[in-house]
Structure 1
Amino acid sequence: MFKIFSVKQVPSLSWSSSSPFNLKPSLKAFFYLNFGLVLFGLGESLLIASNAGVSPWTVLAQGIAGKTGWSIGFTTMIVSFAVLVLWIPLKQKPGMGTILNALIIAFVIDYSLPLLPYPEFYPWQLIQAAIGVLVVGIASGIYLTANLGAGPRDGLMTGLQKATGLPIAWIRIAIEVTVVSVGWYLGGVVGAGTVLFALGVGPAVAVGILMVKKYL
């Protein structure tokens, strides 16, 4: 348990790309990038289908949309661009994974949601949400280790970790709690699943990293 909160960086393995800008990665790195992103999309879908609450970043988008009159989709895009701007002082580098992050995850969510259960019994909703958070975390550990470019939020996490030297789990918890607090203040809707995500995804990412180091 305590080992989870001591993980400080994404590992560089034999199959990891030497640079996010690499346009000719090894087949193994490219495979794990895509596998991780597909798994990430499935985890997001499990959380959505649980009906236990949306992710903290969606709460933020809801809050901003409510104040500006923008659509949730447009607001989400603007927030993503804003997070990418924060990459600049953190010296984070985009890559093909940054683009594939948006494309693959959106595709998987659209096509997996009709196939997933939508529990009505509240305890089952919470269990499904918790599984979704765990899957997202493990998926993050897998695709980030490929070192082919992170999504906006994961890049913010790894950038802040490098800047502060703090464990990834605590960095991610701080980010998600801050985001959900601002979103809630602006009028976004917070559910139990939202809280599970905010407090659980950081440790779940650390679990994913430990699993990758041990098994991949």
Structure 2
Amino acid sequence: MRNLKRWIFLFAGFACYGIAIAMMVRADLGLGPWDAFHQGVALQLGMKIGTAAVIVGAAVMLFWLPLKQKPGIGTVLNVLCIGPMTNVALDYVPVPHDAVTQWALMLGGIVVISIGSALYLPTKLGAGPRDGLMLGLHQKFGLSIRVARTIIEISVLGIGWWLGGAVGLGTLAFAALIGPLVHWMLDVEKKLGLVG
């Protein structure tokens, strides 16, 4: 039963990610660093953002080899599931027509992605490809997690912006809110007894 709960949480977390990314894309106020990068790649290659996310995720995993990171089943499923879920969600999330709706979608997307993180992280079925890259740099070069993450996220955000990905006030909101919200969601899960 415990294993079943882990799998349910994993896929529920991935579904939240897909829906949240679609919400933030439709808000058109700016995306988080990786999603701005995925959007930039998608625009350059003429594909959907979710498809670009799958390709980027698989490519990032190649960097795991020299960094001696080992993927789990959750890592592979992360690459294969979130992108297609984003593409499906984009067909259902409406385009907002005013600033209030834009910000409601943007902030709602940040909350939903925080819920997704809080669901899938405790399953311990494998780090996402981008988190594994951060951990690999931390271990191989002795960088702190904070420094490794900052280097990666600034790099992908800059490249994403250069490729045409959406960077704006929503990007700043994402950067400011995502950490505290994920932390709070994990605390709520513990208090409710959903995670150990």
Figure out how many residues of one structure are paired with residues of the other and give that number: 188
Amino acid across the alignment from 2:174: F
TM-score by length of 2: 0.72
Q: Give the match's secondary structure for 2:63.
A: helix
Deviation of the 1:139 alpha carbon: 0.9
Equivalent residue number for residue 21 of structure 1: none
When structure 1 is superposed on structure 2, of 32-41 and 177-186 the one drifting more is 177-186
Unpaired segments ≥5 residues, structure 1 = 1-14, 16-25
Q: Secondary structure, in 3 states, of the residue corresponding to 2:95?
A: coil
Query: What is the match of residue 156 of structure 1?
Result: 133
Matches within 5 A, 1:50-199: 50-61=27-38, 70-71=45-46, 76-88=53-65, 90-157=67-134, 166=145, 175-185=152-162, 188-199=165-176
Contact in 2 for aligned 1:141/1:212 (Cα 8 Å): yes
Once superposed, what is the RMSD of the aligned Cα atoms? 3.3
1:115 match: secondary structure: coil
Q: Which structure 2 segments of 5+ residues have no match?
A: none
Which has the larger helix fraction?
2
Distance in structure 1 (CA, Å) of the matches to 2:99 and 2:134: 31
* Aligned residue in 1 for 2:178: 201
Secondary structure (helix, strand or coil) at the match of 1:119 reads: coil
- Structure 1 residues 107-148: Cα deviation after superposition (integer angstroms, max 9, x where no partner): 433333343343211133123212212211221122121111
- Cα deviation 1:2-42 (Å, max 9, x = unaligned): xxxxxxxxxxxxx5xxxxxxxxxx11211211121112222
- Structure-2 separation of matches of 1:173 and 1:130: 22
Kept in 2, the 8 Å contact 1:173–1:202? The answer is: no
